[in-house]
Structure 1
Amino acid sequence: MDLSNYLEMFIEESKEHLQAINDELLNLESDSENTAIVNEIFRSAHTLKGMAGSMGFDDLASLTHEMENVLDLLRNSKLKITPEIMDVIFTCVDLIEKMVDSIEQGGDGKENVTDVVLQLKRIQDPSAAPEIPDFLSASREVAATAEFVLDEFQSTVINEARRTGNNLYQIKVTIDERCVMKSIRAYLVFQATEELGELIQTNPSVEQIEEENFGDSFTLLMLSEHSSEEVHSKLINVSEIREVLVVEMGDQEPENTGSLPEEKVEKSESAPRPQDKEDSSGNKKKQRSKSIRVDIDKLDQLMNLFSELIIDRGRLDQIARKSHLSELTETVEHMTRISTDLQGLILNMRMVQVEQVFNRFPRMVRDLAKELNKKVQLIVEGEETELDRTVIDEIGDPLVHLLRNALDHGLETTEERMAANKSEEGKIQLKAYHSGNHVFIEVSDDGKGINRDKVLNKAIERDVVSDEEAKTLTDQQVYALLFSSGFSTADKISDISGRGVGLDVVKTKIESLGGLITIDSTPGKGSIFHIQLPLTLSIIYAMLVKSAEETYAIPFNSIVEITTAAENHVSTLQGQDVIQFRGQVVPLVYLNEILQVPATETSVKKQEQFIVIVRKGNMTRGIVIDAVLGQQEIVLKSVGGYLTNLKFISGATILGNGQVALIIDSNQFFN
């Protein structure tokens, strides 16, 4: 039986169940008397065991079975939860995660689990000195009993049918080895089964049987009001059927009850059966979800194709304006409306809740808090906030670094907190929310805050700033020094917060995503790291501008305002051209000089010049340009590996006239 088609679904659903187990175990630590939580953990472990057994990962199934035995004792109040038991179960979950990761990487999913199995055995029977089981034979036994794996809906159908007098039969059908078209004989058996009752599942699946991808026999699980003798008589009369073995299952369900990966369950249920048949309660069967799993590569390809459509739409729009043909103009306008709706739909398809990243942090914080001997409460808010999948994939590591930093450097020890009249338990908050076209993520703690003098002294010591510059820096500018390359105020380097790597890697990653990061801190009360990220990285709104004969795009998310200034309004302060803008001194950056654009007669300094005011955090800059062309929706394209060290460029886009315009990274003007 070839199960390779279901491997990806098995991995995805295994990770979901493992995450659920981790979450519930954390809840159980704080509410150890709640048996409902234990039941949830047991259910996920039970399902995971059944999936592993059905997929042939016998070691994984056997290890999960041992953990399940302990959970069964806990949920039946035959065992009391202790910190030691929780640690063993967490260790077991870690090993299962490693095995699933091994399978995902193409490995065999095997790990050395001897110690943890011994601990699980001793938890079950402290007086015994159990021998380590032979996993090969044990796993084969699990695989042998895992004839059928049921989901929750199938189990409900079986239970309801039994209440009304139906019997559950497991039927092994053997076809004559000389039969030429075995799939036809199997189909006739399905028809006969339909007349007798309801087919629940087949092994192998219906599709495999139809493709004759089985030996001489297959097994059915069915519900029927008829006796086993009647069922046998009906099926054995199908031509070229050599043997029919009917076993009534009694009051128990098949041993490995759980859920297969979604697609497998649905295919197994697609065997011929009466359509729209009502169950005994008079209610129609539960309708299946109409959602499907889509490979992310297909979504990326769809986005790339749509990006090309956006470029062609811009080209058509220019042609329509020049031609002055009303019919063409109307068609382009209609195409614009439809493509805008299509764009929203595609972008929504790519949006993923940040919960996908956040849900791994409670367990991480719990383990690090134990390692540091600190009492910590992690508060997570805004898990439903959505981000583009591309951003989600990249934001995890920076958040890990910030949380580790908060645990190690931000929060005091229990003794220090009590001496400062604080609660023993420190608090770390991870919060996400939408605002405009951005998503904001905040990592805050109620620890000791940032020592301004310590940061300044370290910066002066490392020649990051001079003594004179240090005297003029605001608190925000001092905190920003923490993002300098290799900068660390730690007295002792540890594995917890990055081994002295510093926060520069966090800043680099955030800015590569088109975002920015700032810090607020109050001594004795804590610190907050603010991260601002764009909703999507693929299609953005930008202002097209000209410098000499070159066209550039400046993303809207960094633009505050566009203004003009006469030449006599430009002043010089410490060798830097500046202007007064809304009561604030704004340094000017001349785009043609920064990018070394060849000057033309029209690009020399004019009496009045256009200035694009951009912002990063609390700082502003004015980008001096020659002309403003107007706003446009653009497709962000990478400039590739041939063009390196482009400090002020974040990418390129193709305009409607076919020209390539570079996209300005305004964050670089603040370095």
Structure 2
Amino acid sequence: MEVNQYLDIFIEESKENLQTVNDQLLELERNPKDLTIIQEIFRSAHTLKGMAATMGFQDLADLTHKMENVLDALRNGEIIVDTLVVDVLFEAVEYLEAMIMDISDGGQGRSDVTAIASKIEAIESGKMPVGADTERVQSDSQEKPIEYYLDEFETTVLQEAEATGYHLLDITISLHEDCLLKAARVYMVFEVLERAGEVIKALPSIDELENEQFESSFSVLLVTQEKGENVQSSISKVSEIEEVVVTPFSLTGTGGDSPLPEQFEQPEDDSCHPIEKPAEANGVKDQVPDTSGKRASGNKTIRVNIDRLDILMNLFEELVIDRGRLEQLSKELEHKELQETVERMARTSGDLQDIILNMRMVPVDQVFNRFPRMVRQLAKDLGKHINLEISGADTELDRTVIDEIGDPIVHLIRNAIDHGIESPDERAGKGKPPEGTLRLHAYHSGNHVFIEISDDGAGISREKVLSKAIHHAVITQEQSAKLSDKQVYELLMASGFSTADKISDVSGRGVGLDVVKNTIESLGGTIDISSVFGEGSKFSIQLPLTLSIISALLVKLESDTFAIPLSSIIETAMITPADMKDAHNQKMIDFRGRMIPLIFIKQLFDLKGKGENDNYPVVIVRKGDKSAGIVVDSFIGQQEIVLKTLGEYLSEAFAISGATILGDGQVALVLDSDTLIK
């Protein structure tokens, strides 16, 4: 088989299955007696094993098979869930993730798994007797009957078939445990069944069977004129079939020598008839019955390579540039029909822009889902008890931002765990609960996404920060007395600054925060720190929804046009020389009761032009709690622009974050208001 054409799909689906295993293992550690969690882990591991074997990645398939053995023993109550078992399974997942990463980098997923394999085999060979509680849960699970839920139509079909002399058969098919292509075997079984009669119901549902969302057994209700033994013989001829059990089925509870399922009391709405099926005839444990009464709709999503979305985005950016050119030409020509056509095109392209941008949006859950296991391991290494609370994981961000934001958040979380949250003994001494809380919260606000990392730990000591800052000559003793708490906390993000008494293997609070800040600012975002000493700290990250197409205000400076992103603008104003004040050799204005500095771009960029004016257009911009007024010659208006980088050669250009192409083909530079304020 030519596997290369399926490789991308295999890698993506393998990552999804491993993430499911990872999430469910964390849940299993919290609820060790919940057998449905083990079933879910087993299902994902089995799917991964089958895909790996089909694609020829044998090391991956072998390790997953060993995991399956332990999971099967857990499922059957031969091993109890404890920290040792969960630790080994997590370690196995790490090996599997490394193999998948190797495959995605062009390798064959080969790895020396001797160490982890021996640990798994040791757990498997040292099977312990099941505890009383686990035994009770297992017993309850086995005694719970599995039900067929029949809607009114299905019930009518079965009644008419039974009345006209057709055989109603309840058939349970068990596949070999090492069956690799379960969906293919199900398809072959259904071909046999459809030749023999008509399948009325399947358990699990048809969709679940097609997607291999079952273990090794499934059941069907068949209406046929064939005898049960003939149907059984035909199905048994399909390869990799372990067992076929055929039982007579009746809605009335009579007919046949075998005990028949009983019909439950009819619901009030008369729409669905649950039919109980004995668990021992099915052989599938803890299956969730299909309560929908009808077949679920198919999957309506497709996988698209991110490179194709990038190409689509680039093409649309060119379209936006041409749209701006057409808008300008239509105004110059004053052609009514052309103007109407351009307006319709603008509306259509605006809708298209929303769709394309939404296609690139992915939930921050793709970043957040790696943190629970990381927090668990760090807490264990440091001897701390930490409860991680995640909210807003469905908040969406542009894929480009998602790819870059992971490492800064990891660093902030590691800092919070290492030097933010105290040890259980320290917390007890302070009257706090022994378990610290780490919160990860994401939410939308306007055209931005905010991600907050907060803890209920020791907080940040103002005196300690100032002492270190003075010692390292970051500030003077006189300056330290004038700084607000917010300004003090910002010192933590100075290059190489740290308040940690010693550098640990995890990280010291403050070490590397300059890198975190630089990464976030390179994405057009900001980071804000707040803290209450003894109660905890919060790092708030503000990020733009997307980086490529932004709304901007176009302004004129002499013969040049500049763009200022709307996201940083508070408002615009007109001032006179009389409104200007002098303070510390800096021109200032009174903006709503606050004195803010004026920035004269023409002087800053050494643009030649006339001197004093009677009126000055000013753009008021903001960065965090700081504001400034950018003085320009005139306002042109608001426009959607395509933000392009200046390339490495001009990457150090002061206060310029990029450029855009205007409708007349000219290049306009995009001002970096954050740098200007700083």
* Conserved 8 A contact 2:555-2:561: yes
Residue 224 of structure 1 deviates from its aligned partner by 13
1:439 matched residue in structure 2:
449
* Conserved 8 A contact 1:493-1:499: no
Identify the match of residue 648 of structure 1 among 644, 650, 655.
Answer: 655
1:629 matched residue in structure 2:
636
What TM-score comes out, normalization by structure 2 length?
A: 0.78
Residue 159 of structure 1 deviates from its aligned partner by 12
1:303 matched residue in structure 2:
313
1:10 matched residue in structure 2:
10
* Conserved 8 A contact 1:54-1:146: no
In 2, Cα distance between equivalents of 1:617 and 1:655? 30
Residue 557 of structure 1 deviates from its aligned partner by 0.4
In 2, Cα distance between equivalents of 1:3 and 1:45? 21
* Conserved 8 A contact 2:502-2:508: no
Residues 155-201 of structure 1 show CA distances to partners (whole Å, capped at 9, x for unaligned) of 996898799798xxxxxxxxxxxxxxxxxxxxxxxxxxxxxxxxx99
Identify the match of residue 476 of structure 1 among 479, 482, 486.
Answer: 486
Q: Alignment partner of 2:659: what SS?
A: strand
Identity of aligned residues (%): 52
1:608 matched residue in structure 2:
615
Corresponding pairs, count: 561
* Conserved 8 A contact 1:45-1:64: yes
CA separation of 1:118 and 1:535: change in aligned 2, threshold 3 A: same
1:431 corresponds to which letter in structure 2? H
CA separation of 1:283 and 1:379: change in aligned 2, threshold 3 A: closer
* Conserved 8 A contact 2:390-2:440: yes
2:330 matched residue in structure 1:
320
CA separation of 1:324 and 1:246: change in aligned 2, threshold 3 A: closer
1:150 corresponds to which letter in structure 2? A
* Conserved 8 A contact 2:197-2:223: no
* Conserved 8 A contact 2:586-2:597: yes
* Conserved 8 A contact 1:369-1:407: yes
2:251 matched residue in structure 1:
none
1:527 matched residue in structure 2:
537
1:55 matched residue in structure 2:
55
In 2, Cα distance between equivalents of 1:151 and 1:362? 36
1:345 corresponds to which letter in structure 2? I
Residue 284 of structure 1 deviates from its aligned partner by 7.7
Residue 607 of structure 1 deviates from its aligned partner by 2.3
Residue 76 of structure 1 deviates from its aligned partner by 1.5
2:100 matched residue in structure 1:
100
CA separation of 1:607 and 1:423: change in aligned 2, threshold 3 A: same
2:183 corresponds to which letter in structure 1? L
1:67 matched residue in structure 2:
67
2:76 matched residue in structure 1:
76
In 1, Cα distance between equivalents of 2:479 and 2:292? 80
Residue 33 of structure 1 deviates from its aligned partner by 1.1
* Conserved 8 A contact 1:432-1:442: yes
2:609 corresponds to which letter in structure 1? T
2:514 matched residue in structure 1:
504
CA separation of 1:5 and 1:248: change in aligned 2, threshold 3 A: closer
1:670 matched residue in structure 2:
677
Residue 556 of structure 1 deviates from its aligned partner by 0.4
Residues 338-363 of structure 1 show CA distances to partners (whole Å, capped at 9, x for unaligned) of 01111111111111011111111111
In 2, Cα distance between equivalents of 1:62 and 1:495? 34
2:595 corresponds to which letter in structure 1? V
Residue 531 of structure 1 deviates from its aligned partner by 0.8
Report 1:74-153 matches (<5 A).
Answer: 74-126=74-126, 148-150=181-183
1:393 corresponds to which letter in structure 2? D
In 2, Cα distance between equivalents of 1:546 and 1:54? 63
Residue 502 of structure 1 deviates from its aligned partner by 2.3
* Conserved 8 A contact 1:476-1:520: yes
Identify the match of residue 427 of structure 2 among 412, 417, 422.
Answer: 417
CA separation of 1:572 and 1:149: change in aligned 2, threshold 3 A: same
* Conserved 8 A contact 1:376-1:428: yes
Residue 386 of structure 1 deviates from its aligned partner by 0.6
Residue 642 of structure 1 deviates from its aligned partner by 2.2
1:306 corresponds to which letter in structure 2? F
Residues 406-428 of structure 1 show CA distances to partners (whole Å, capped at 9, x for unaligned) of 11111111111000000000001
* Conserved 8 A contact 1:562-1:611: yes
Residue 498 of structure 1 deviates from its aligned partner by 6.5
CA separation of 1:292 and 1:575: change in aligned 2, threshold 3 A: same
1:8 corresponds to which letter in structure 2? D
Residues 212-254 of structure 1 show CA distances to partners (whole Å, capped at 9, x for unaligned) of xxxxxxxxxxx99899xx99xx9xxxxxxxxxx975835369x
* Conserved 8 A contact 1:401-1:498: no
In 1, Cα distance between equivalents of 2:649 and 2:65? 53
In 2, Cα distance between equivalents of 1:283 and 1:30? 34
Identify the match of residue 348 of structure 1 among 343, 349, 358.
Answer: 358
In 1, Cα distance between equivalents of 2:594 and 2:89? 59
2:17 corresponds to which letter in structure 1? H
* Conserved 8 A contact 2:384-2:435: yes
CA separation of 1:247 and 1:372: change in aligned 2, threshold 3 A: closer
The yes-or-no answer on 1:571 pairing with 2:558 is: no
Residues 355-406 of structure 1 show CA distances to partners (whole Å, capped at 9, x for unaligned) of 1111111111111111111100110000111111111111111110111111
In 2, Cα distance between equivalents of 1:158 and 1:24? 35
CA separation of 1:458 and 1:160: change in aligned 2, threshold 3 A: farther
* Conserved 8 A contact 1:354-1:386: yes
TM superposition outliers: structure 1 runs of 4+ over 4 Å: 143-147, 151-166, 223-227, 245-248, 281-287
* Conserved 8 A contact 2:189-2:238: no
Identify the match of residue 389 of structure 2 among 372, 379, 391.
Answer: 379
In 1, Cα distance between equivalents of 2:459 and 2:616? 44
Report 1:152-163 matches (<5 A).
Answer: none
Residue 520 of structure 1 deviates from its aligned partner by 0.9
What TM-score comes out, normalization by structure 1 length?
A: 0.79
In 2, Cα distance between equivalents of 1:152 and 1:448? 59
CA separation of 1:37 and 1:246: change in aligned 2, threshold 3 A: closer
In 1, Cα distance between equivalents of 2:124 and 2:178? 22
Q: Alignment partner of 2:450: what SS?
A: strand
In 2, Cα distance between equivalents of 1:118 and 1:622? 67
* Conserved 8 A contact 1:358-1:383: yes
Root mean square deviation, CA, Å: 3.1
In 2, Cα distance between equivalents of 1:474 and 1:286? 59
In 2, Cα distance between equivalents of 1:109 and 1:309? 42
Residue 519 of structure 1 deviates from its aligned partner by 0.7
1:249 matched residue in structure 2:
241
Residues 286-330 of structure 1 show CA distances to partners (whole Å, capped at 9, x for unaligned) of 543221111111111111111111111111111111111111011
Residues 47-105 of structure 1 show CA distances to partners (whole Å, capped at 9, x for unaligned) of 11111111111111111111111011111212111111111111111111111111111
Residue 147 of structure 1 deviates from its aligned partner by 5.6
Gaps of 5+ in 1: 129-142, 167-199, 202-222, 235-244, 254-280
1:371 corresponds to which letter in structure 2? D
2:574 corresponds to which letter in structure 1? T
* Conserved 8 A contact 1:53-1:146: no
Identify the match of residue 339 of structure 1 among 302, 325, 349.
Answer: 349
CA separation of 1:162 and 1:502: change in aligned 2, threshold 3 A: farther
1:97 corresponds to which letter in structure 2? E
* Conserved 8 A contact 1:494-1:500: no
Q: Alignment partner of 1:112: what SS?
A: coil
* Conserved 8 A contact 1:374-1:414: yes
1:241 matched residue in structure 2:
none
In 1, Cα distance between equivalents of 2:641 and 2:339? 20
In 2, Cα distance between equivalents of 1:78 and 1:150? 29
Q: Alignment partner of 1:491: what SS?
A: coil
